[in-house]
Amino acid sequence: MLYRETGQFKTSYRRDQAIFPIAQDRWSIGVIMVIAYLVIPVIANEYWLQAILIPFLIFALAALGLNLLTGYAGQLSLGTGGFMAVGAYAAYKMTTAFPDVPILLVLLLSGVFAAAVGIIFGLPSLRIKGLYLAVATLAAQFFLIWLFNRVAWFYNYNPSGTITAPPRTFLGVMITGPEATATVRYLVALSFLMLFALVAKNLVRSEIGRTWMAIRDMDVAAEIIGIRPLTTKLSAFATSSFYCGVAGALLLFLYLGSVETLAFDIAVSFEVLFMVIIGGMGSIMGSIIGAAFITFMPILLTNAPHLIGVDLPVDLAKELETIIFGGLIIVFLIVEPHGLARLWQIGKEKLRRWPFPY
């Protein structure tokens, strides 16, 4: 009843092609933007911003990247952590070598380096498919982590092996470094995510997106009708690695501040893959929802016993958390294998009829 499109007539092709054609959708997105940009920085406390919202935004960006590669182009990749590491180390090297370059430009350029590496490690996808490709991308993951550990040039010969984000400002406001406030960093991460999500949505609605989906669905047939697998698969790897590289750079500059290769371990690759699968493969909104689910759930699980009033010893709580996490994944996959995005879609369909039965 509230969600119906009756009465909304499109009078131009431009209006018809809009990303949010229904007015109620546009209003909702507007409200969410207002809350995200204006309300949350005011009401959220430091802990929420620093420990929950900023990593959520950054991992949503990484999940978006992986979704483009795995959900839209069908190339299963377990090298996300490695590509994020490339972005982080590239940004670090650039900003320490050229301190006067604006930090936002550095963050974007770090994606370019990650894209280049992504193309190199994407080359096997031209020959290898499916689960074999997933394991081949693990080669990328392990090799890149070894490289950043072993070649001291990457961490500027720092004896501890960690890289630290130097303080940088933008328009007079401190964005990175210990002086930067959580609010500023949150807003920068949010802006990056919004921009990149918009670009991703437009990419998947355009010709490139359609070639990706064609390769995903039936790559032999796609080749026959004239879609070049080389450029398509490599463009998918390049774009996805660009997103993951920028996410990695943001992880260093906006969230952790100081990072070593452990932060880009294979566990991160699996975490991002979880976000994509649970959020819904082949869905932009799904990546963001999936990231929210995976980021918020451990915190919920850790804090739930306190809220109920039961106090558990720390190791028992940790074990229970692992058990429940694993169990929830399985239950979730049984209930809705297409992810939360599909549940959202079903919800919207039902909303169009509500409260009428049909």
Partner 1 sequence: MTEFLTALFVTPFVDIASGPIFFGEVVIGGLMAGVMYSMVALGFVLIFKASGVFNFAQGVMVLFAALTLVGFMERGLPLWLSLLLATGVMILLAFAIERAVLRPLVNQDPFTLLMATIGLTFFLEGVGELVWGSNVKKLDIGIPDDSFEVAGMLVNQFELIAALVAAVLVTALAILSQKTTIGRALRAVADDHQAATAVGIPLQTIWVTVWSVAGIVALVAGIMWGAKSGVQFSLSLIALKALPVLILGGLTSIPGAIVGGLIIGVGEKVGEVYWGPAIGGAIENWFAYVLAMVFLLFRPHGLFGEEIIERV
Q: Say which residues have a Cβ less than 8 Å from residue 208's Cβ, sequence separation at least 6.
A: 232, 235
14 binds partner 1 (CB under 8 A): no
Interface stretch with partner 1, choices 102-110, 145-153, 208-216, 239-247 (CB under 8 A) = 145-153
Least distance CB 289 / partner 1 (angstroms): 16
Among 36, 203, 266, 285, binds partner 1 (CB under 8 A): 266
CA dist 277 and 242 (Å) reads: 20
CA dist 175 and 253 (Å) reads: 8
Among 326, 348, 349, 353, binds partner 1 (CB under 8 A): 326
Q: How far is CA 181 from CA 15, 113, 247, 319, in A?
A: 40, 28, 19, 34
305 binds partner 1 (CB under 8 A): no
194 binds partner 1 (CB under 8 A): no
271 binds partner 1 (CB under 8 A): no
The pair phi, psi for residue 258, each rounded to 5°, is -145, 130
- Cα-based torsion angle of the residue sequence 40, 43, 46, 49 in order, rounded to the nearest 10 degrees: -20
264 binds partner 1 (CB under 8 A): no
Q: Which is nearer to partner 1, 285 or 297 (CB)?
A: 297
Among 64, 145, 208, 247, binds partner 1 (CB under 8 A): 145
CA dist 6 and 162 (Å) reads: 58
CB atoms within 10 A of CB 261: 23
Interface stretch with partner 1, choices 18-26, 42-50, 99-107, 132-140 (CB under 8 A) = 132-140
Burial (CB < 10 A; 0-12, 13-18, 19+), residue 283, is buried
Among 142, 167, 169, 210, binds partner 1 (CB under 8 A): 142
342 binds partner 1 (CB under 8 A): no
The binding site for partner 1 (CB under 8 A) comprises 76, 124, 127-132, 135-136, 138-139, 142-143, 145-146, 150-151, 218, 220-221, 224, 266, 270, 273-274, 277, 281, 315-316, 319-330, 333-334, 337
